Structure formats: C-alpha cells, structure tokens
Amino acid sequence: MKVLKQFLIIIGISLVGEALNYLIPLPVPASIYGMVLLFVLLLTGVLKLDAVRTAGKFLIEIMPVMFVPAGVGLMVSWGVLQPMLIPVSIITVVAVITVMGVTGRVSQFIIRRGKRGEKQS
Amino acid sequence: MNDFFMNSAFAGVALSLISYYIGMELKKKFKIGLFNPLLVAIVLTILVLLAADVDYDVYNAGAKYLSWLLTPATVCLAIPLYEQFELLKANWKAVIAGIVSGVITSLLTVFVLSFLMDLSHQEYVTLLPKSITTAIGMGISEELGGHVTITVAVIIITGVIGNIFAETICKIFTIKEPIAQGLAIGTAAHAVGTAKAMEIGEIEGAMSSLSIAVAGILTVIGASVFAQFL
C-alpha cells in the first residue's frame, strides 16, 4: 500500500503539471512544472520525503530505459535527417564538448574560488 | 512478426528492456565507453525490428508505455534535488554562472557553426534548442519555424552522445567537482545525460536534474534572441 500511495502522489503531481502546461501558454512541459511543484512541496514540508521516496527512486533508476523508444524513433526520422547529416553531426558533437566544458569549468572555478576564500578567512 | 507485435502488449517493452539489459551486461564485461547501455539498447532494438520486418509504429504501440513513464520520472528528479538542497544553497553562484554560461555557449556554438556552414534560417532555428529537454526544445523549434522532427532527433542524439562521453569530457577538461560535473552534464545533455549523472553519484545527479529545468527555461528566452542573428 505504501508504494501505491507514493505512485498515486507522483501521478497526481504529473497531472497537475499537465494542467499547468495546458493553462499557461509557454513551451514548458508538464514534467518541468511537476518537478518544480514536487520540489516546492518537499521544501515547504507539505510532503515528507518518505511520501514519495521508494516509488520515486525506482522511477529514477529505470529512467534510462525510458529513452529507448525515442532513440529507436531515429529509425523513422532518418529520412528527414539524412540531407542535413553532416552539419548536424558536426554541430552536435562540437556543442556537447563546448557546453560541457564551459559549464563545468565556470562552475568549478567559482566553487574552488569560494573554497579558497573560506580557508583564508 | 508484425502480426504478433501488433497483438502483443509487452513485445515492445520487453524488447527495449532486454536490449538495455544486454547493454548493461556488455558494459560490465568490457569496460569500453562504446558499450553504453542506452546506445546498445537503441541499436539492438533497431536491428531486431529491421531483421523481423516490424514497423516502428507497431513496436511503439507497446513501447510507448516506457516513454509514458518519463513525465512522472522527471517529476521525481525533484527528490535528489531536495536531498541536495543545502549544497545547492551553498553553491548557488556556481550553479547559476555554470548553467547561464552553458546555455550561451550552446546557442553561440550553433550560431557560429551554422554561419560557417552556410545553413538556412530554418535549419539554424531547428538546431538552436538542441541541448535541452525534448518537450521544451520541440516547443521552441515549432515557435521559431524550425523542422520539429529533426529537432527531436538531434536532441536525442545530443543526449546519447552526452551520456556516452560525459566521463571522458569531464576528464579532458579536468572537471572534478561533483557539482560542476552534474551541471555540465545536465546543461549539455539534458535528461539522457542526467541518467548518466545519476549513475556517477547523487550530487552529480541532483545538479544535472536542476540543469535540465533551468537550462530549458533559459533557452526559451535565449533562442528567441539568437534566432534573429541568422
């Protein structure tokens, strides 16, 4: 019964996310509204962590598998993708490297500067 | 085979799970980056469908229930985020600066390369939202007049590449702080990358989850500005 209740809460929040996506004319998906909502509910103590934890951790653990159908869908979009294949490949590979590199280095720089500051003071 | 698949509720899900499981076993046996479970699962599933002459729509009639779980699973990313809230609060400057610079880098990279390769405006806006989560990216592409199907494909490819090479790229750029790793992976490769960040560690996973939401929302604004440039 415990996990059932947890799953019910998670689905309920997803449903509210869907409603927000329907009502607010922004390209923000239901999942992001739901994530922010669950975060706020946990933060304000309206929901205790134990109320969603077991079912939530299970869903997160099996999450990678949920991307398989979308990936297999490339089989169908291959036709439209093909004429743009070379620019798409170059941009995709380069951008993954630049974005990961810049984001990581910038945040690491600030974290380490903060740590040094703490030590000095 | 098409007939069986059409009448089976579990064939699509089972095939996806088995392929992923084989990918996990391969990764355990051979510690090579190429044996990324997600990549192996996608390739194996495509090969099986092609060999058995089963249409994607037939496969997806069952497999769509896996995709259906993505919304509740993404909602649950709030859990690690909540668990790491103290860390997030203590490092909010690094978090904001990291994600903002990553989003700008993404848009700038697409702009510069599109300009150099002489892409059309439509091709350019199709690729602009490539680093963020599918649902937001689709919306942006549609609004800017891009080719939505290609945007979705490119977003998924980006995620898979990010998932496979996350550890290598972090090593090359000597990104060692768990917070910085998580932010880097989530900003560059959205939810598919986050799946990898979760495997690396709880802090990485939480920061990556946060990046999906923040980078996605920032890109809504950023892409509409960058769309004017080409």
Encode pLDDT of A10-53 as tens digits.
999 999 999 999 999 887 788 889 999 999 999 999 999 999 99
**Token reading at B16:** 């996806």
Q: Are residues A47 and A6 in the same domain?
A: yes
Q: Which residue of B has its CA nearest to A97?
A: B169
Q: Are residues A88 and A37 in the same domain?
A: no
Last residue of a domain, one of A21, A44, A67: A67
Q: Are residues A43 and A89 in the same domain?
A: no
In angstroms, the CA B182 to CA B175 distance is: 10
How high is the pLDDT of residue A40?
96
Last residue of a domain, one of A50, A67, A84: A67
CB B39 within 8 A of CB B164: yes
Quick one: how many helices (H) and strands (E) in chain B?
13, 0
Q: Are residues A99 and A116 in the same domain?
A: yes
How high is the pLDDT of residue B105?
96
How high is the pLDDT of residue B33?
67
Q: pLDDT tens-digit profile of A64-100?
A: 888 888 889 888 888 888 888 899 999 999 999 999 9
Q: Which A residues in the span 36-75 are in contact with B, Cβ-Cβ below 8 Å?
A: 36-39, 42-43, 49, 52-53, 55-57, 59-75
For residue B76, the chain A residues in CB contact (below 8 A) are 10, 35, 38, 52, 55-57, 59-60
Q: Are residues A50 and A102 in the same domain?
A: no
In angstroms, the CA B70 to CA B85 distance is: 23
| Displacement of CA B170 from its chain's centroid (Å) | 17
How high is the pLDDT of residue B144?
87
How high is the pLDDT of residue B1?
65
Q: Are residues A63 and A118 in the same domain?
A: no
Locate tokens 């890109």: which residue?
B219
Q: Are residues A63 and A13 in the same domain?
A: yes
In angstroms, the CA A87 to CA A72 distance is: 22
| Res. A120 pLDDT band, cuts 50 70 90 | low
Last residue of a domain, one of A42, A67, A92: A67
- The total number of structural domains that make up chain A: 2
How high is the pLDDT of residue B166?
94
Q: Are residues A84 and A112 in the same domain?
A: yes
Residue A121, pLDDT > 60, answer no
Q: Are residues A50 and A7 in the same domain?
A: yes
Tell me, what DSSP letter sits at residue A47?
Answer: S
| Res. A119 pLDDT band, cuts 50 70 90 | low
Contacts with B149 (C-beta within 8 Å, 6 or more apart), sequence order? A77, A80
Neighbours of A20 (CB within 10 A): 18
**What residue type is assigned to position B30 of the chain?**
F
Q: Are residues A118 and A82 in the same domain?
A: yes
Residues of chain B with pLDDT under 50: none
State whether residue A107 sits within 8 Å of chain B by CB. yes
For residue A30, the chain B residues in CB contact (below 8 A) are 71, 135
CB A42 within 8 A of CB A10: no
Q: Please give the average per-residue pLDDT across A2-11, as a whole number.
A: 94
Domain with A85 in it: 75-121
Q: Are residues A2 and A37 in the same domain?
A: yes
Q: Are residues A82 and A25 in the same domain?
A: no
| Res. A62 pLDDT band, cuts 50 70 90 | confident
